[in-house]
Amino acid sequence: MATRPYIGHYKGLVLSHNMRKVPKLDIDGNFYVVLEKREDLNSGHYMSVIKLKDNGSPGYGIFDSYGLPVSKDISDFISRVEYFEDDEDNNYTLSVIKTSNDFQDEKSNRCGAFMLYFLDHLYHIARGRPTAKDFDKVSRKFTRNPSQHNINLLINHFS
């Protein structure tokens, strides 16, 4: 059953082309739901951009059930909001982890359900402070390609 442990970290629904206007995610665990227009399907696609707790270095997780390359809008958001120090004392790199496998069929309209399933499990195991390791662990619950297994995960979770 869905529990919604992520609710306190939700910072809003953003159209992908408006990512350049939203404030940075300054607290580990905070996230945006991003709606990207899909011209090829004449519809939209839900994803999430999550600020990860990652050993003191800034990090982001991008959940996309289609496993598509990161859009320019999301890349620009991450580049814009993170400040990089170049001196020896404060040198760090930005860690970005994303789902690169297609968990759902391209004609499926279940991207929102996949994202909510992912967020429920991620925030449950991470207790509100997800790491890249947590992100990867939850991603591995799905098969690499669209399958009945993935659909059954959603059905069992939301029933």
- What are the residue ranges of helices labelled H in 18-107? 72-81
Per-residue pLDDT of the chain (159 residues; tens, 9 = 90+): 456 778 888 999 999 999 988 988 878 889 999 999 866 666 789 999 999 886 666 688 999 999 988 888 998 888 776 654 444 555 555 678 899 899 998 888 899 999 999 999 999 888 878 988 899 999 999 998 899 999 999 999 998
Residues 6+ apart with CB under 8 A from 148: none
Using the Cα atoms of residue 144, residue 58, residue 37 and residue 46 in order, give the sign of their dihedral: positive
CA dist 148 and 136 (Å) reads: 21
Q: What's the confidence (pLDDT) of residue 86?
A: 47
Q: Which token pair is 157?
A: 């979770």
Residues 6+ apart with CB under 8 A from 72: none
CA dist 145 and 111 (Å) reads: 14
Q: What's the confidence (pLDDT) of residue 156?
A: 94
- Residue 85 burial by CB count (10 A; 0-12/13-18/19+): exposed, middle or buried? exposed
Domain boundaries along the sequence of the chain: 7-158
Q: What's the confidence (pLDDT) of residue 85?
A: 47
Distance of CA 89 to the CA centre of its chain: 31
Q: What are phi and psi of 56, to 5 degrees?
A: 85, -20
Q: What's the confidence (pLDDT) of residue 35?
A: 94
Q: What's the confidence (pLDDT) of residue 3?
A: 66
Q: What's the confidence (pLDDT) of residue 2?
A: 58
